Amino acid sequence: PRVAVIVVAAGSGTRLGAGPKAFVGLDEHTILRHALARVFEAAPAQVVIVAPSGLEGSALTDAIEAAGERRDLVTVVTGGDSRQASVAAGIRALWADVDHVLVHDAARCLTPPEVFDRVIAALELGHAGAVPVLPVIDTIKRVEGDLIVGVVDRSELAAAQTPQGFRRDILETAYRAATAEFTDDAALVSDAGHTVLAVAGDARAFKVTTPADLERARGLVAAAPV
Ligand code: C5P
């Protein structure tokens, strides 16, 4: 099966406060460039980068650097106002012969190739969808205002990461049918009635969201340059 990876990089990076997040530097390379280096290790048949309006050219430059000889596999499209709108723009750019689609946050720029491999393997086994997850390590409280009103059994919980992989037809149909906003693609596909498999995530697949996350990512890259 031919695998496409949609890399969503069209966020504004409001919480980071350093401009569009995917274009912030970790070292001499941007967050997007680091994400793409790992995406290409998964040997995709197509890579769709969803860029913020006006930064399509910068995204293409990063992509060409990361792709090397495989630059023909790269498509750049313009994102939307929400993550969901950005993924939808990426889906519209998929080539006709793609069978499986991985949707990946550029902000999870240090996700190791093994995570991509596990998601792809689950799809090859015939699952409709697969999501990398980590166990929840904190004790989770239910709150009302500033009062703690209960605990949630954390053994029932998992933290979802990306890349999230889906059969192409299922992802397309679910996106076409979606009438609500979902926070990830697995929620949207589950809502459409499909079963999604959980595979092992990785601590390195954390999402760069806050300045502290950026420091962590920069520290990891400085310790083990890629
Ligand atoms: O904001 P957050 O970090 O949760 O976004 C997750 C991913 O979705 C990021 O890689 C971001 O660039 C992308 N995104 C997007 N279009 C938006 C909002 C977020 O591509 N409108």
CA of 83 to the centre of ligand 1 (A): 5
Each residue of 35-91: pLDDT tens digit? 999 999 999 999 999 999 999 999 999 999 999 999 999 999 999 999 999 999 999
Q: What is the pLDDT of residue 226?
A: 66
- Superfamily the domain 3-223 falls into: Spore Coat Polysaccharide Biosynthesis Protein SpsA; Chain A (3.90.550.10)
CA of 183 to the centre of ligand 1 (A): 10
207 lines ligand 1 (CB under 6 A): yes
Each residue of 108-158: pLDDT tens digit? 999 999 999 999 999 999 999 999 999 998 899 999 999 999 989 988 999
Residue 225 pLDDT greater than 80, yes or no: no
CA of 34 to the centre of ligand 1 (A): 16
Q: What is the pLDDT of residue 18?
A: 80
Q: What is the pLDDT of residue 197?
A: 98
Q: What is the pLDDT of residue 193?
A: 95
Residue 202 pLDDT greater than 70, yes or no: yes
If phi over 0 gives left and psi between -120 and 50 gives alpha, with beta otherwise, what is residue 124? Answer: alpha
Residue 14 pLDDT greater than 90, yes or no: no
What ligand 1 atom has the least distance to the C-alpha of 13? 1
86 lines ligand 1 (CB under 6 A): yes
16 lines ligand 1 (CB under 6 A): no
Q: What is the 3-state secondary structure (H, E, C) of the chain?
A: CCEEEEEECCCCCCCCCCCCHHHCECCCCEHHHHHHHHHHCCCCCEEEEEECCCCHHHHHHHHHHHHHHHHHHEEEEECCCCHHHHHHHHHHCCCCCCCEEEEEECCCCCCCHHHHHHHHHHHHCCCCEEEEEEECCCCEEEEECCEEEEEECHHHCEEECCCEEEEHHHHHHHHHHCCCCCCCHHHHHHHCCCCEEEEECCHHHCCCCCHHHHHHHHHHHHHCCC
The average pLDDT across 3-28 equals 93
Top mutation candidate among 32, 55, 83 for ligand 1, by most atoms within 8 Å of CB:
83
78 lines ligand 1 (CB under 6 A): no
Q: What is the pLDDT of residue 221?
A: 96
Each residue of 177-187: pLDDT tens digit? 999 999 999 99
CA of 87 to the centre of ligand 1 (A): 9
Query: Atom 11, ligand 1: which residue's CA is nearest?
Result: 11
